[in-house]
Structures are given as C-alpha cells and as structure tokens.
Amino acid sequence: MNGHLQPLLTAVGGSLTGERLRLVRRAYEVADRWHSGQFRLDGSPYITHPVAVAVILADLDLDHEMFCAALLHDVLDDTACTEEELAAEFGESITNLVRGMWTLDDAGRRPPDWPVTTDERVLTLKLADRLHNQRTSGGLSWEKRRVKAQESLDVLVPLAGRLGLPEVEEELRRLAMANLSGAGGARAFFGAITAGAIMLPAAARARWLEEWLGELLALPVGRARYRFTFRLLAGMPRMALTLRGQAALAGGGRAAVRDRRTAVAERAAAVGRAATRCLRWVVRSDLRTWALLAPLLGWLVLDAAAERITDAVVIVITVPPVLAAAVHAIRARIGGGDGVSNRDRGRAGRR
C-alpha cells in the first residue's frame, strides 16, 4: 500500500522514527485514499505529486509535520475531505498548513499581500508545490504554462530568495524561464542565448536572462528573433569581459581600483589575443568551423523538434546560411580561409 511513498522514505533515511514515522505513513494512506482514481496529465497516479512535494521538503531538511502537510495539501481542494476530518486525525498544526495551502491555491481566496502575510511554513510548502508543478508542466496548455511560469518569475522566485532557499530559487527560475520560452514559441532562440550566457558572471546571469527573455517574447516570430539572438551572441564575449571587469573594480580604494583596472585591461587584452588566434585557426578551415558549430545546431534542432517540428524545420532552413555568412564575415575581418592571414599577405607583397 505504501509503494508510492518509498521515494520519501528514502529521502528522509533514518531521521523519522516512532510516532512521527507512523503519522507520515498515515498521512500518505489518507491522501492515497482520497486521491484514489485521480490521475495527473501525464497519466501517473495523482498521489505521486504530493509525495514528490514531500521529497522536495525532505531535501530541505524540514520536519514531519511539513511532510504530512505536503502529502495532504490537495485533499481539501480536489476531494470531498473536510477540515474537520483532517483536524480530528492530524491535529490543528498540520491542518492549518493544509488550510493555508488551500487558501493560496485559488487567486480568489488569497489576500493581495499573501507573499508577506502568509506563514513562512505555508509559503515553503507553496514553493515546493510550484517547483514540482514546473518540473512536470509539459501536459498543460501553452496559455496555462505561460501564466504559471510568469507568476513563478514575478512572485515565487523572489519569495524563495527572501526565505533563504537559493537552490529552490535557482531551479524555479530556470524552469519558469524554460517553460515561458516554450509557451511563447521562443525555446530554440532562448536556448542559444542561455548557452552563450554561460560566459557571463554567475551573479549577473539570471537577471540578464530574464530581461532578454522578456525582450525576445515581445518580438514577432521570425527574422526579428533571429537578429536579436545573433546580435546578443555576437556581443556576449565583450559583455562578459565588461561585467567581470566591473565586478573586479567594485569596492576598492583609488590605488586598488587603478591596479585592478590595469590588471583587468591586461587580462582582457590577453584573452582577446588568445581568442582571436583561436578563432582565426578555426575559421581557416570549413571542416573545423562546422565541426564546432554542428553540435550546437543539432541541439537547437532537436530541442525545437521536441516542441514543434515546424520550428525545427525553420531552424534547419535558416540558421546554417546565417552561420555561414557570419563565418565569411569573420574571415574577411581577421583573415583566414586559405591558411594565410592578411598580415602574411602584406609581408609577402613587401618582399
């Protein structure tokens, strides 16, 4: 009977014993009975969702009352179970947590200032619930995915940061942006931007990605998004150097600032020279160039095809010519293509 409960028992290890373990098992049995015959959009038994929410809370090292509340958090909303029945079996503390979740689950019930007035334990339960729902939102309609993802970014991600849950904050942000980009038909473009943003300092990356996603979704589908993505990727190295330089210069005296500025400039120049040499070596050969670009292109096509095959076809048709034009432009700028740079040609002419 406790087959679906095993992931939670594994997550808590031996930390639950005696009466607390009995109460958690009982909460599972009650939730399993009330959710019997209910299924998620992916076809799995509904009880797997509250168990997954409880596992998230176990990973956060919370207590047995929170596990019980997680297992029972949807019975008031989705079944005929009453608050009186819960209170009679589990007491007021657990029932209040479930009641708080029931209040937050409906926009018409929750107060406007709920992120700051709700008990922090209920808010943590809400975050765990939303995190699992964002992990498994593939079966929702595009519009519901967009609404939930936008609310996650606007309200729940900052809430996780305020409650001191950085792992939840980061994963919820990443999932919400991925779901939002998919709902807006911009997944392939945003995937490329996200890959390029790895060059940026980690502390600034999330803020810029959120801003760029908003700009990307505001653009019409088609050429405007290609241009926006290409310009961002082309300027990413310079932006990364600028942001890292600003971080290095922050918080020092004048002498220290001058020293850091000089060091940053020298490092940026060295990195630029090395990058130029590496880039020149790559673009001199079509084989080397496309060996480097093909995996990225393949990943974009496969990622787009997972959502809509038409997006993948558009990428296959349009992206390779854009990349080829970019390679030719780089060759013309820095020299390459036949193994002889413009500087070497100049020297040959003077001889």
Q: What is the DSSP string of 36-59?
A: TT-B-TTSSBTTHHHHHHHHHHHH
CATH number of 5's domain: 1.10.3210.10
Quick check: 345 pLDDT over 60? Answer: no
Residue 319 inside a domain? The answer is no
Instruction: Provide the pLDDT for residue 233.
Output: 86
Q: Which residue has the higher pLDDT, 211 or 2?
A: 211
Confidence of residue 73 (pLDDT cuts 50, 70, 90): very high
Give the angle subtended at the CA of 39 by the CAs of 37 and 43, to the nearest 5°.
130
Residue 212 inside a domain? The answer is no
Quick check: 79 pLDDT over 50? Answer: yes
Q: Which residue has the higher pLDDT, 270 or 103?
A: 103
Residue 113 inside a domain? The answer is yes
Residue 249 inside a domain? The answer is no
Angle between helices 142-151 and 120-135 (to 10 degrees): 140
Residue 143 inside a domain? The answer is no
Residue 103 inside a domain? The answer is yes
Q: Which residue has the tokens 């029932």?
A: 95
Instruction: Provide the pLDDT for residue 255.
Output: 52
Q: Which secondary-structure segment (H or E) carries 245? A: helix 223-249
Supply the range of the domain harboring residue 22.
1-135
User: How far apart, in Å, are the Cα atoms of 184 and each of 3, 144, 214, 248, 311?
Assistant: 38, 12, 10, 37, 12
Instruction: Find the largest Cα–Cα distance for the chain.
Output: 98
Residue 301 inside a domain? The answer is no
Residue 346 inside a domain? The answer is no
Where on the phi/psi map is residue 18: left (φ > 0), alpha (ψ -120 to 50), or beta?
left
Quick check: 109 pLDDT over 50? Answer: yes
Where on the phi/psi map is residue 166: left (φ > 0), alpha (ψ -120 to 50), or beta?
alpha
- 151, 173 Cβ separation under 8 angstroms: no
Q: What is the DSSP string of 171-185?
A: HHHHHHHHHHHHHTT
Burial class from Cβ neighbours inside 10 Å (0-12, 13-18, 19+) for residue 253 reads: exposed
Average pLDDT over residues 150-155: 93
The pTM of the full predicted model, rounded to 2 decimals, is 0.65
Please list the residues that pair with 45 across neighbouring strands.
Answer: 39
Quick check: 334 pLDDT over 80? Answer: no
d(CA 175, CA 102): 24
The dihedrals phi and psi of 305, each to the nearest 5 degrees, come to -65, -25
Counting the structural domains of the chain, the total is: 1
* pLDDT tens profile 52-66: 999 999 999 999 999
Please list the residues that pair with 39 across neighbouring strands.
Answer: 45
Instruction: Provide the pLDDT for residue 28.
Output: 97
* pLDDT tens profile 180-238: 887 667 777 888 888 888 888 888 888 888 888 888 888 887 788 888 988 888 888 88
- What is the Cβ-side half-sphere exposure of residue 171, based on CA atoms within 13 angstroms? 12
Instruction: Provide the pLDDT for residue 236.
Output: 86
Give the residue from 279, 290, 289, 283 showing the smallest Cα distance to 337: 283
